[in-house]
Structure 1
Amino acid sequence: MAAYSARGVHGQVVHHLGARIVGGEFTEGDTLDVRALGEQLDVSLTVMRESLKVLAGKGLIDARQKRGTFVRARSAWNLLDPDVIHWRTVGGDAARLLRDLADVRSIVEPAAARRAALRRTDADLAALDAALDAMARAQGDSAAAAEADAAFHRALLAATGNELLGRLDLLLEPGLRERDRLVHAHPAAGDPVPSHRAVVDAVRDRDAARAESAMHDLLAKSTEDLGLLTADDPADKA
């Protein structure tokens, strides 16, 4: 493998090794030969050790005396970590991740939309409208579309007036960003604005039942989008 440049070397090593672990090249209990990996990647032992500390913080690896550095069980991984989520999407586990995300959203977001309709402020509406405007401008730009969508859902949770619900963006946003990055890059992806605008209109009118229903419709559209990504996956069809 070609040598890394000095710029960003730690981050590159972290992403390289993290993707290999999450992708299954290294499995639970495997011992990592730190010196050999450093030689393979053409980086120093100092860089390797610092990079492994980052992976340990994400729950992927651990180190013990007499055993060395080894891969931890999947149950120990921080599955909410943005890097781990990204490595899952590029490592063949995207369908499972997106199904789990859709399940969580179906529990949280309709109830959040209902509460937002009852409790929203003018500032909340301004944030939702700004996110919609950004979404409309982002057509054809998957990165900008993902950012606008994240801003929308962040604003909706904040509009509930519940500080704990408002911080659920920490749970949902990393997965949403990966989902949107994949969906909006698909040539058959539809316009996300109408389904999101229906939620905002109901929240603006303080119509809790309609807001909840509109969010269910938005999630149904999201499920259709997920079908675009998995339609050609034989394992997923099975």
Structure 2
Amino acid sequence: MLQRISRQYPKTGIHGRVVHELGKDIVRGVFLPGQRLPNENVFIDRFHGSRTAIREAFRVLSAKGLLEARQRAGTHVRLRHFWNLCDPDVLSWHDAVSISEAEIRQISELRRLFEPEAVRLFSMTRMSEQEGDELLTLLRKMERCEILGEYPEMHDLRLRFHHTIMENCGNEYLRTMHSVVRLVLDYVFTRSMQETKLPDINMRWYYLLLDKIKSSDSEAAVSAIRSLTVRDHEAILERDMHRTRVVA
């Protein structure tokens, strides 16, 4: 059976909640790079937690490169180039609606570099019939959602399809990059729904991709996933150019 694993920091407990909520605040610009955070008491009141829990959360965010404790100067948000940008949590704290065009363009470029390799490795594994059926079931559910107009559910199934490939490609470093794929797909889906009310998802390419993976045709599988990544990247570039023309 194919596996899907969450690699994000646990959200349970007070300190887990602080990590994720404060992380989002930093990544989304509520607290800006170089800014000093409010006194710990502010966060104790906000999250109804202990000083120990708040400090533990700060240590986690410091390990991710977002915070820096300075002697007698408090805790500050670090400059963006110190952030661990490929950390699954840091990526998940970006918002598909508010992320800048420059950021999503660079993230999409990164996806185009590594996802074809993950597909190549995955297609070289010997999947069981049951594992192939799992992926086929996802695609059939996607297609049914498209027919019924259940587009958010269709998008969630697409994320599961890509996540499954990344998790089972056999390379533990590539596995950690699923959040990059998710962010790009979230962005493209959100923008397409805002502009056309229809998802920019081509089921034909997904069925072709799965067919080549199941037949262990790694070169054809790579070609198929490249077509999907190029399609998404071009959609991002087109939206950037459209916005530039509107501003001009």
TM-score (norm 1): 0.73
Matched, 1:54 2:60: yes
Report which structure shows greater RCO (CA 8 Å, sep ≥6): 2
From 73, 83, 87, give the equivalent of 1:77. 83
Amino acid at match of 2:83: W
Cα distance, 1:103–1:237 mapped onto 2, change above 3 Å: farther
Please name the residue that 2:9 is paired with.
none
Cα distance in 2 for partners of 1:111, 1:15 equals: 30
Q: Work out whether 1:199 is the aligned partner of 2:234.
A: no
CA contact (8 A) 1:59 1:78 kept: yes
1:26 aligns with 2:31: yes
Cα distance change of structure 1 residues 235 and 204 upon mapping to structure 2, 3 Å threshold: same
Matches within 5 A, 1:121-200: 121-123=126-128, 126-138=130-142, 139=145, 140=150, 141=153, 142-155=155-168, 157-158=169-170, 164=171, 167-170=173-176, 172-184=177-189, 186=193, 187-200=197-210
* Amino acid aligned to 1:133: T
Indicate yes or no: 2:15 matched with 1:10: yes
Q: Is the 8 A contact 2:66 2:83 kept in 1?
A: yes
What RMSD in Å do the two structures reach over aligned CA positions?
Answer: 3.4
Match of 1:3 in 2: none
The one-letter code sitting in structure 2 at the alignment partner of 1:189 is P
Q: 1:213-232 maps to which residues of 2 (within 5 A)?
A: 213-226=223-236
Q: Distance in 2 between matches of 1:208 and 1:151?
A: 17
Q: What is the CA–CA distance in structure 1 between the aligned matches of 2:96 and 2:121, rounded to whole Å?
A: 35
May I ask how many residue pairs the two structures share in their alignment?
222
Q: SS at the partner of 1:79?
A: coil
Q: Is the 8 A contact 1:34 1:48 kept in 2?
A: no
Structure 1 residue 22: Cα displacement: 1.7
Residue identity (%): 26
Q: Equivalents in 1 of 2:31, 2:96: separation in Å?
A: 15
Alignment partners' CA distance in 2, 1:102 and 1:174: 11
TM-score, normalised relative to structure 2: 0.70
Q: Is residue 123 of structure 2 the alignment partner of residue 110 of structure 1?
A: no
| Equivalent-residue separation in structure 1 for 2:88 and 2:246 (angstroms) | 24
Deviations 1:130-165 (A, max 9, x none): 22422431433133432233113434x33xxxxx4x
**Equivalents in 1 of 2:119, 2:15: separation in Å?**
41
- Alpha-carbon distance in 2 for matches of 1:114, 1:46: 46
Three-state SS of the structure 1 residue aligned to 2:95 is helix
